[in-house]
Structure 1
Amino acid sequence: MQQFRIKTHKPGTTYSSHHFFILNRGYNCGKPLQTECPNCFVLEFDSQTSAENHYWLAYNLWSSKYWHQFLIGSVIPFFRIDSFKQEFERKSKKILFEFDQHQKQVNALRMLQQQEEKCHKTLKVIKDMRQVTLAWYYN
């Protein structure tokens, strides 16, 4: 079984193991991050492949707004580390049993993410061309 550790991130701490961060406050809670932020948990792994598989699990749970059901607090919603640990470990065990399906989903999501990045680049080029065309009116 793949081992990982979940703990509250303390700003300024550096991690030598493979890791990523999970935002734990606000309506974007559960969002996996590669860079640290003050309100996050850190997940540490023994291997890069384990970290990557769990990153995509976290990404899928965040994208589907899975963590919203665990939010507490009236002004700035957040979720507790115990709730997160329990649910994330449960979902982690599930992907171990259905690993082939998980890999197919991850590959599909990577392809979609690449297509989305291409679309964003295309839209940026279109926006820049529009600005160049409209700049004629300033001269």
Structure 2
Amino acid sequence: MLWRVSTFDPLRHEHKENIFYIQSKGENAGRPLREPKRNCFIIETDYEHAFEICTVLWISKKYEPLICGSVIPFLRIRDFESMALPYIKNLSFSLTQDMKALASIDELLSHTQKKLQLVRELKISTALHVLNKFDRIIY
């Protein structure tokens, strides 16, 4: 099975299948990401539900003892792998349904955020339309 972790470099990055990211620095070090940010690891894997397992580990604060740095907290690649890989390799069949549920929730959140963004844009558009009408009345 494929499992490769490296530091994300936006200049050498090409988007492939089965890739996700882990934030490596800051207050959210260890947080799984679908899109890259500065200071993250790139995870290339064939393990099913690896993203969801990393999400569970981040939410449960399993990475916290591994985070170091007094000014800017950061997570080392080897520390991340030592924590995440045993969980990913030993995913039992009984947990597969739970992982699918987490994936569905993640997808629902993504769709909801997109809808929320559209509503925000509609609010701005409506406000500008109202302002336009005010300007015609006043001037």
Alignment of 1:40-119 (within 5 A): 40-45=40-45, 47=46, 50=47, 53-62=49-58, 64=59, 66=61, 67-93=63-89, 95-97=91-93, 98-119=95-116
CA distance in 1, matches of 2:29, 2:123: 33
Q: Give me the TM-score of the superposition, normalised by structure 1.
A: 0.71
> Is the 1:71–1:77 Cα contact (8 Å) retained in structure 2?
yes
Shift of 1:36: 6.4
SS in 2 for 1:104: helix
Change (3 A) 1:65 1:13: farther
Partner residue in 1 for 2:35: 34
Determine what percentage of the aligned residue pairs are the same residue. 21
The RMSD of aligned alpha carbons is 2.9
Shift of 1:17: 7.0
SS in 2 for 1:20: strand
Shift of 1:112: 2.9
Are residues 1:4 and 2:3 paired?
A: yes
SS in 2 for 1:135: helix
Shift of 1:129: 0.4
> Is the 2:24–2:75 Cα contact (8 Å) retained in structure 1?
yes
Shift of 1:11: 5.4
Aligned length: 132
Shift of 1:20: 2.8
Q: Which amino acid aligns with 1:4?
A: W
Of stretches 65-74 and 107-116 in structure 1, the one that deviates more from structure 2 is 65-74
Structure having the higher Rg: 2
Please list every run of 5 or more consecutive structure 2 residues that lacks an aligned counterpart in the other structure: none
> Is the 1:27–1:68 Cα contact (8 Å) retained in structure 2?
no
Are residues 1:128 and 2:129 paired?
A: no
Shift of 1:72: 1.5
> Is the 1:6–1:42 Cα contact (8 Å) retained in structure 2?
yes
Please list every run of 5 or more consecutive structure 1 residues that lacks an aligned counterpart in the other structure: none
Change (3 A) 1:17 1:133: closer
Q: Which amino acid aligns with 1:29?
A: A
Q: Give me the TM-score of the superposition, normalised by structure 2.
A: 0.71
